[in-house]
A = this chain, B = another copy of it.
């Protein structure tokens, strides 16, 4: 298999640890390694590193090169963010030169997966299913009525690969309100859209040609320049003019090809907030359910998350349910249950 890791995010949800020059995928929040490194380590379970690539924005190219120095992983640089359709198209072009009909797994650089063995099995099964030319998605069994994700409404079992069943897709649905999310959860027919896809280069490039002709035309221009001195300039020209559109809107919701979905249950999180990170690392709580990632002094404090990138001491007295993030030039103190609003600080700073 081939693997393409999308590392183009410029997230603001982990401010002040995440910044424009250091978005979430480069943070050591889920372990002592960055999320990108964790993702690459996971990929090694089903794809050789020589067949893996990372797509990053120009701002993060140098950092990524340093991080992956000595590894055979290919780094593809996007001159600007143009959402997932362009990112996947660009990566598929490169894979197509080596293997038009091998499955490619597309996965975001900033997700957490608890059970890597189960994950690898599902990806390998999805790869098997994708060899036929199908578009394959990995859906996550919902564990709560989440209103922050899109859902996949699954139909009947459509087949089986490596002993795992896969389902047809009835439709993709937008982020629901809480009542609808509760119905989805109860029905058992809805999966979270994880943003993990598997298809061959031939399949996805053909679908882009059908559904997104302007992107297809741009990719043709880039393809002609691969291996020539014009490559970088060609990518820049194309990215300047193409629309910003997601693979979900641009291809998945338009295609007439069969889409199959695997139902996965390997402990997945998109780690969308400091609060999600707190939930994720429950095994590391102290006796008072504090998650303390840094130098701390604690007096009567409960259920707090401390995350520090400095050597400074973070001292807590009598506080409960907070997230405290300490960095060299800013310290944030938030109610943990308000951590979805952390991005408002980035907005405030832009206004200034």
Give residues in A with beta carbon < 8 Å to B: 15-16, 297, 299-300, 311-319, 322, 324, 326, 328-335, 337-339, 341-342, 344-345, 348-349
Contact = CB atoms under 8 A, between A and B. Distances in A.
A344 B319 CA distance: 15
A3 B10 CA distance: 62
A1 to B, nearest CB: 42
A331 B318 contact: no
Copies in the complex: 2
A315 B297 contact: no
Contacts of A318: 334-335, 337-338, 341
B314 A331 contact: yes
A319 B323 CA distance: 10
Contacts of A333: 314-317, 319, 322, 324, 333
A342 B317 contact: yes
A336 to B, nearest CB: 9
Q: Which of A15, A333, A344 has the most CB of B within 10 A?
A: A333
Contacts of A299: 341, 344-345, 348
B342 A313 contact: no
Contacts of A344: 299, 317
Contact of A317 (B300, B311, B328, B335): B335
Contacts of A300: 338, 341
A232 B129 CA distance: 90
Given A338-B318, A342-B317, A312 B297 contact: no
A316 B334 contact: yes
A330 B15 CA distance: 20
A339 B317 CA distance: 8
